[in-house]
């Protein structure tokens, strides 16, 4: 399964920041909306991996690091796929889905880490 055009609308970023939620908009969309759909699909199709092509040409790999730290994707040396011409300059990333529901629960468990300090 491939995530295509996963990005946030810049017009929504300001509204999101005003809400004061300590999580990034894309992170919440991923764990709250996309992962449940992926779990439903796994029951029908039996997918093992989720992958994406990170369109990140920055020297510091800001987007790639975001996908690693917030969404759980990894770089791949052992897994790969045919890369469409459209995604040729992108970095291939993947994650295993076998424990995705546990990782989703962990996301919610750490959703408001500063709340305990209050």
pLDDT per residue as tens digits for the range 53-111 = 888 888 999 999 999 999 999 987 666 665 665 565 788 889 999 999 999 999 999 88
Annotate 77-115 with DSSP letters as a single string: SS---PPPGGGTTSEEEEEE-TTHHHHHHHHHHTS-GGG
Angstrom distance (rounded) from CA 76 to CA 7: 21
Predicted confidence at residue 64, as pLDDT, reads 93
More confident residue, 90 or 43: 43
Predicted confidence at residue 92, as pLDDT, reads 84
**Separation of CA 78 from chain center:** 20
Angstrom distance (rounded) from CA 103 to CA 85: 32
Count Cβ atoms within 10 A of the Cβ of residue 94 and give its class: 0-12 exposed, 13-18 middle, 19 or more buried: buried
Count Cβ atoms within 10 A of the Cβ of residue 101 and give its class: 0-12 exposed, 13-18 middle, 19 or more buried: middle
pLDDT of 118 strictly over 80 = no
Give the DSSP H/E element, type plus range, for residue 70: helix 62-71
């Amino acid at each position: 399964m491939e995530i295509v055009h996963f990005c946030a609308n810049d017009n929504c970023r300001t509204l999101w920041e005003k809400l004061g939620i300590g999580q990034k908009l894309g992170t919440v969309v991923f764990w709250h909306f996309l992962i449940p759909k992926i779990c439903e699909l796994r029951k029908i199709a039996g997918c093992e991996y989720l992958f994406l092509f990170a369109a990140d040409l920055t020297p510091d790999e800001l987007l790639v690091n975001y996908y690693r730290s917030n969404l759980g994707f990894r770089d791949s040396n052992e897994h790969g796929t045919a890369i469409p011409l459209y995604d040729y300059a992108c970095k291939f990333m993947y994650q295993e889905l076998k424990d995705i529901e546990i990782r989703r629960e962990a996301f919610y468990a750490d959703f408001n880490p500063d709340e305990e300090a209050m």
